[in-house]
Structure 1
Amino acid sequence: MTHTASPIIDISEVQTGVLQIRMQDYQHKNLFTHDMSRALIEAFNTVSADSTCKAVILTGFDTYFATGGTQEDLLMLQEGHASFSDNNIYALALECPVPVISAMQGHGIGGGFVMGLFADFVILSRESIYTTNFMKYGFTPGMGATMIVPNKLGAYLGNEMLTLAKRYRGEELKQRGVPFPVYQRAEVLPKAIEIACELAEKPRISLIKLKDQLTRTLRKELPVYIEQEVAMHAETFRQQEVKENIERLFGR
């Protein structure tokens, strides 16, 4: 079974019980355009409602996993016309009832990397770039990054990543001891499929109950972090320096 949710999101059945969501916005390199955000929400609604689904693989195309907010949306946030909390795409994997595997075969930038970290299993590629680049522009992180990045990467590396806004190749993160596998790009999706097929051997209700238990603390704490991040944005986003940085540095 193959179902194309939209031209930029493809949902396919890898095997019985395993669905793959592939982000494939070739024009915008998997930026979180309004169309991509809507399509992602619809895709996760589709797989969550599928009573036969036991595991979900989230992946991108070629060298891109997900590359974060658009310049237009960042400028709207800077001008106070929107908030990242208006559109909850960041925690879709966390809220999905069955386990989600982020097969980050390509670059994960800003909110794109953060979204991937909300999955139950994370796989990176050695060649790809991963960064939480919010502070590159001068505004504090959002999308639950202040919670999930230190939680998944460890306090020291997570805080470093959020504060310095550096770019890291997957190979460097592997050497720094990230607690999830890092493979050659061509191996990422096959390894994700292996995990998903192992999950599909288990009863669906058992997978749902266990995920609910394992993620309960994160789901309870996330709204608190989101509220705090929105409050920080009210103070940090409106700076003129931030606007200039978004206009000058975006895409670099």
Structure 2
Amino acid sequence: MTQSVLDIHEVTPEIVQVTMQDRAHKNTFSRQLVDGLLQAFAAISTNQRYKCVVLTGYDGYFASGGTQESLLAIYEGREKFTDTSLYSLALDCQIPVIAAMQGHAIGGGFVMGLFADFVILGRECVYTTNFMKYGFTPGMGATFIVPQKLGLSLAEELLLNAGNYRGAELEKRGIPFTVLPKAEVLNHALDLAQQLAEKPRHSLCILKDHLVAPLRDQLARVIEQEVAMHEKTFHHQEVKQRISTLFGK
């Protein structure tokens, strides 16, 4: 486990908090952070005491999506976002996952959080599916989970326009998530986790499996479609230029 970029903390014997804290990369999906998340959720899956995962970030960042280097690697054909199962960690997890998005969530970082069973946003924080800003179509399951969680009309706006939205604005647009001042997001998530922890673990697992089964069944097909769209949209010189000049702005 790469402790420097990821903190695993047992809040109680039944609740585990996973904190992404790659400060050097502002919680973009660096190799260290990706490996840490994969290892953390693998370990969580073997612990029969856990009933809930709280996934959160540090300070003003929840998760910031792909690194500039990884995006350029996809452009060059050396990588695909499907090289790891990062995008579906929360969906695949047996127990409920709460995404406490106390900071900005950008691109694949926002999408990863939307795969959680519970989503809590910060009013002051920026949320964006900014794939098209760089000229390539969305990946990470975004074309599937964003409409599922936010509704088709708002999802089309977020995905096609690739704009930045504060949590307060999304709250006004009627998103079905709790939106709080960012300083209150994690505590609310922990309160919710405690409520979940009062339930029997086997019942939580069985009910989650039932509720998310349609999502799991459809996701693989959508991922294939997103990869096919990447083959058509990612390998253009304009995309390379946009990644090189616009990344982080």
Deviations 1:196-243 (A, max 9, x none): 000000000000000000000000100000000000000000111111
Q: What does 1:194-205 align with in structure 2 at a 5 Å threshold?
A: 194-205=191-202
**Aligned residue identity for 1:100:** V
TM-score, structure 2 as length reference: 0.99
Question: What corresponds to 2:114 in structure 1?
Answer: 117
**Aligned residue identity for 2:72:** L
Question: What corresponds to 2:210 in structure 1?
Answer: 213
Tell me how far 1:46 sits from its aligned partner: 1.3
Question: What corresponds to 2:190 in structure 1?
Answer: 193
Question: What corresponds to 1:247 in structure 2?
Answer: 244
Tell me, which stretches of 5 or more residues in structure 2 are unaligned? none
After TM superposition, the runs of 4+ consecutive aligned structure 1 residues lying more than 4 A away are none
TM-score, structure 1 as length reference: 0.97
Deviations 1:65-103 (A, max 9, x none): 000000011011011111101111011000000000000
Tell me, which stretches of 5 or more residues in structure 1 are unaligned? none
Q: Is the CA contact 1:11–1:20 (under 8 Å) kept in the aligned structure 2?
A: yes
Q: What does 1:12-161 align with in structure 2 at a 5 Å threshold?
A: 12-161=9-158
Tell me how far 1:16 sits from its aligned partner: 2.9
The answer as to 2:174 corresponding to 1:177 is yes
Give the 3 Å change call, closer, same or farther, for CA 5–76 of structure 1 in structure 2: closer
Tell me how far 1:5 sits from its aligned partner: 5.3
Deviations 1:31-50 (A, max 9, x none): 10111110000011111111
Question: What corresponds to 1:11 in structure 2?
Answer: 8
In 2, Cα distance between equivalents of 1:239 and 1:180: 37
Q: Is the CA contact 2:2–2:32 (under 8 Å) kept in the aligned structure 1?
A: no
Deviations 1:160-209 (A, max 9, x none): 10010000000000000000100001100010001100000000000000
In 1, Cα distance between equivalents of 2:57 and 2:68: 20
In 2, Cα distance between equivalents of 1:28 and 1:82: 19
Tell me how far 1:7 sits from its aligned partner: 1.3
**Aligned residue identity for 1:243:** K
Quote the RMSD (CA, aligned, Å).
0.8
Deviations 1:98-128 (A, max 9, x none): 0000000000000000000000000000010
